Structure 1
């Protein structure tokens, strides 16, 4: 079956017997076209199946209402709430989101930035694939050269010239640590993100601070993953095969905690025997009467703040970069 070619302004002009300029004006500047002429053109466009090229329209008007949103893990429930907040805030200001999921790949992240630059987006909200201090992607210089407003979210690169919205990760680790101390927990298996991740390091520091402040000794074993479910499941299962179940397991995000819980379930380890704690709210846990002490952040606010930092820069390119810190609270 032959592929149908796209309908163009020329096709509509021939169909209605008018000039290309008149047809184009009906779409771009409708107030300058007689109502009956405009309606005839629009009717023809519907009949022929014409779809306006929004990108071309932007290039003509030099006014873009498109914002790029680059995230490393759309399947992470944390980012689902963040994306929802950004999308709603953007809609209120008549902007559209172009969402790109890099799936944790530096190569895909590079392509994502190049794509957004080619679309001449008004700005970019970026949650990079890594927050290791050694990660310095080549696209940083291109973003700077383009003078494009950029806001980093959650994971941040080790640069000072972009605004950012970050979580209070040290506080989150400390809150969970305090909860474990209250439960008289001394032995903790900690399932984390990459060892080089500053998020991992800050959450681990907060945990240790809680025990140091309480004067309680802590036997800690760390297994490093990548903030996804499967490595956490594997590490938890391996630990259970090699030694006795720990007094407590601390997952450094939702997916890690869920992976650990699944491994415990599959190994027939009762929740009464191992205390599970985590960072980030476990979605729908209350439906199954599962109580897990968690340090949670207002993810919706994180997304909302990210958009408004970006919007601030779009409106005034001279505004200084800022940092917004989202606090943490403990819930059971």
Structure 2
């Protein structure tokens, strides 16, 4: 692979001139530019990204840290960051944080020791104050969940409003004993969605029955236990995120209940009954977060609104209706393509 010095020698110019041609400096003479570019193509020159970052003073990698890269929601955030970074001649470094808040910093630090343009972070804990030293020199942008005890940019979605709308929708379908199923209240998203659920019940003049709230449903076993705890008393169910909803599906095949879920998920519209959902926009979260990091690199003194809440929307399908309490595991509609 040719080096910048070899390109310079072949073109009869300095290495600095080669650098100016590569960086599209307008002060290079057209004939010189054409000669250098021709030799670059002939020798298949590929610039050293670390050296380029050193010369420009601008790192070329955006870090992405999410709870689980296999989760379709967080995977789409990571893909959106990657697409945006690629459009700006940058790359991404992605890691999964897991589900233990006490290990969040330990998982992040190997990534943070690298020279990063910034970090897009969906936290798993409620206290990010330990990242303050890193954040003082590396832009952090939080997605899905706002930071705790740390000042940083955040793009989140209307968790309270979405849960309020989902619960109200079930009330409008005649349900009076609506259960809430979620993962853990340590997550700010779950806590806000529970608050929205309770507010909708209060608005409808219904009592908030704590016996209809079941947590720990992020796994198939946990979801089965959560459903067993509320199934005999509930007439409908609000699931607080897509992971819980997918974990619930096998248990709902045995104990069907009308359902609205926060967060769409693959094949939700092809289940029978199809699942009514509060839709999120993970692509927008990832794109806006990456754009904010790039903006902060380009304009370090610019002022931005720190917290941006994106809207969510109810998509009514069949599962919220009173007559829809049929086994959800009979999944694919006739004539639908097989899952990939």
Q: Where on the TM-score scale, by shorter chain, does this alignment land: which range?
A: 0.7 to 0.9
Equivalent residue, structure 1, for 2:197: 207
Asked if 1:276 corresponds to 2:266, the answer is no
Aligned-pair distance for 1:327? 0.9
**Stretches of 4+ aligned residues off by more than 4 angstroms:** 22-44, 50-53, 239-244
Equivalent residue, structure 1, for 2:242: 254
Q: Distance in 1 between matches of 2:14 and 2:281?
A: 49
Deviations 1:192-230 (A, max 9, x none): 13223222121111111111112133435222237x4x1
Asked if 1:68 corresponds to 2:55, the answer is no
Deviations 1:123-159 (A, max 9, x none): 11111122x2xx2352322322x2x222111122223
- Check conservation: 1:110, 1:139, Cα contact below 8 A: no
Q: Distance in 2 between matches of 1:8 and 1:109?
A: 40
- Check conservation: 1:250, 1:277, Cα contact below 8 A: yes
- Check conservation: 1:73, 1:79, Cα contact below 8 A: yes
CA 1:241 to 1:61, structure 2 compared with 1: closer, same or farther past 3 Å? closer
Of 127, 140, 148 in structure 1, the residue corresponding to residue 132 of structure 2 is 140
Q: Distance in 2 between matches of 1:320 and 1:159?
A: 20
Q: Distance in 2 between matches of 1:43 and 1:169?
A: 55
- Check conservation: 1:305, 1:324, Cα contact below 8 A: no
Equivalent residue, structure 1, for 2:213: 222
Helix, strand or coil for the counterpart of 2:212? strand
Equivalent residue, structure 1, for 2:153: 163
Asked if 1:110 corresponds to 2:106, the answer is yes
Helix, strand or coil for the counterpart of 2:124? coil
Deviations 1:244-276 (A, max 9, x none): 5432222111110111112222xx23x4xx112
Q: Superposition pairs for residues 35-50 of structure 1, below 5 Å? A: none
Q: Distance in 1 between matches of 2:285 and 2:37?
A: 44
Asked if 1:298 corresponds to 2:281, the answer is yes
Q: In structure 1, list runs of 5 or more residues that go unmatched.
A: 1-6
Aligned-pair distance for 1:96? 1.8
CA 1:239 to 1:126, structure 2 compared with 1: closer, same or farther past 3 Å? closer
Q: Distance in 2 between matches of 1:302 and 1:243?
A: 34
Q: Scaled by the length of structure 1, what TM-score is found?
A: 0.76
Aligned-pair distance for 1:75? 1.4
The number of residue pairs the alignment matches comes to 302
When structure 1 is superposed on structure 2, of 28-37 and 64-73 the one drifting more is 28-37
Q: In structure 2, list runs of 5 or more residues that go unmatched.
A: 23-27, 317-340
Q: Distance in 2 between matches of 1:136 and 1:23?
A: 48
Q: Distance in 2 between matches of 1:110 and 1:24?
A: 42
CA 1:202 to 1:54, structure 2 compared with 1: closer, same or farther past 3 Å? same
- Check conservation: 1:257, 1:277, Cα contact below 8 A: no
Aligned-pair distance for 1:103? 2.4
Q: Distance in 2 between matches of 1:68 and 1:169?
A: 25
Aligned-pair distance for 1:38? 9.4
Of 290, 306, 313 in structure 2, the residue corresponding to residue 329 of structure 1 is 313
Q: Scaled by the length of structure 2, what TM-score is found?
A: 0.74
Q: Distance in 2 between matches of 1:160 and 1:174?
A: 28
CA 1:8 to 1:325, structure 2 compared with 1: closer, same or farther past 3 Å? same
Q: Superposition pairs for residues 78-117 of structure 1, below 5 Å? A: 78-106=73-101, 107=103, 109-117=105-113
Alpha carbon RMSD of aligned pairs, Å? 3.4
Aligned-pair distance for 1:318? 1.6
Of 179, 185, 188 in structure 1, the residue corresponding to residue 175 of structure 2 is 185
- Check conservation: 2:214, 2:227, Cα contact below 8 A: no
